[in-house]
Amino acid sequence: MQRINVHDAKTHLSHYLERVERGEVFTICRNNVPVAELRALPPARTSPRKLGRHKGQVRIEPSFFLTLDEADLNAWSGGGA
């Protein structure tokens, strides 16, 4: 991982982005103090996620679907106990 200063990063941003696309990572420093990292993002998803992937692995208790009483509703809405 290479360190570059803010001025150099601003001046040669296109150059550094090309290198990032090839897999390099840069630490951007201000007054020799690291403040940010310039790295590639993971590739975007090209297909939708499969739904129901955890079917049968997750159990939701029937009580989850019951109506809350007034005290619980107030607690969840920030009204206190």
Domain boundary assignment for the chain: 2-38
Residue among 5, 38, 47, 46 nearest 19 (CA): 38
Query: pTM value?
Result: 0.56
**pLDDT at position 80, please?**
61
Distances (CA, A) of 48 to 23, 53, 54, 56: 26, 12, 16, 21
**pLDDT at position 25, please?**
97
CATH of domain 2-38: 3.40.1620
**Which has more confidence, 54 or 24?**
24
**Which has more confidence, 18 or 64?**
18
pLDDT, mean over the chain:
89
